[in-house]
Amino acid sequence: MFPKKSQAPASLPRSMTDAMANASFSVLGTGTQIKGDITATTDLHIDGRIEGDIDCAGLVQGEASEIHGAIAAKSARLAGSLHGSISGGEVVILKTAHIHGDVQYDSLTIEPGAKVEGRLTLRQAEEAPRLALAN
């Protein structure tokens, strides 16, 4: 008399679970505030406020984000405010970024309009981010 209700699958499709298991980034969204150090073996996208050091594979910083601490990453794309030093392989400083600290890099790109108040230093081959040594 009543039609059968379609049942939801007992588990997610294999392609979806594979994608979730292989997730290679974490997002700290707008409105998120963290006090403390962050260590990640994956990439991070930060749109919130961080008070602490960050050690990760790759970092993408949103325009409205604010970081107070040192950054060590294989790659970093900075668009917000950073009050601290950065040591990275490939560092990209976008026009909206304001960096208050020293930048150590293997490769550096600075867009016109970006503000950097600190020293820019080409890293030596043995000076890798802490995370890169752990792999």
What pTM was estimated for this model as a whole?
Answer: 0.75
Could you list the residue range(s) of the whole structural domain that residue 99 is in? 30-134
* 10 occurs within a structural domain: no
Q: How many domains does the chain have?
A: 1
pLDDT digits (tens, 9 = 90+) for 52-108: 999 999 999 999 999 999 999 999 999 999 999 999 999 999 999 999 999 999 999
* CA 8, chain centre distance (Å): 36
Band the pLDDT of 8: cuts 50, 70, 90.
Answer: very low
* Type of residue found at 13: P
Residue pair 120/108 in contact by the 8 Å Cβ criterion: yes
* 122 occurs within a structural domain: yes
When mean pLDDT is compared across 5-14, 104-113, 120-129, the lowest value belongs to 5-14
Q: Which of 57, 51, 23 is closest to 39 using CA atoms? A: 57
Q: Which of 126, 80, 82 is closest to 103 using CA atoms? A: 82
* 18 occurs within a structural domain: no
* 14 occurs within a structural domain: no
Mapped onto helix, strand or coil, the DSSP state of residue 131 is helix
Backbone phi, then psi, for 131, in 5-degree steps? Answer: -65, -40
Report the distance separating Cα 68 and Cα 5, nearest Å.
53
Residue by residue, DSSP assigns 22-37 as: T--EEEE-TT-EEES-
* 16 occurs within a structural domain: no
Tokens in use for 11?
């588990």
Q: Provide the pLDDT for residue 124.
A: 79
Largest CA distance in the chain: 77
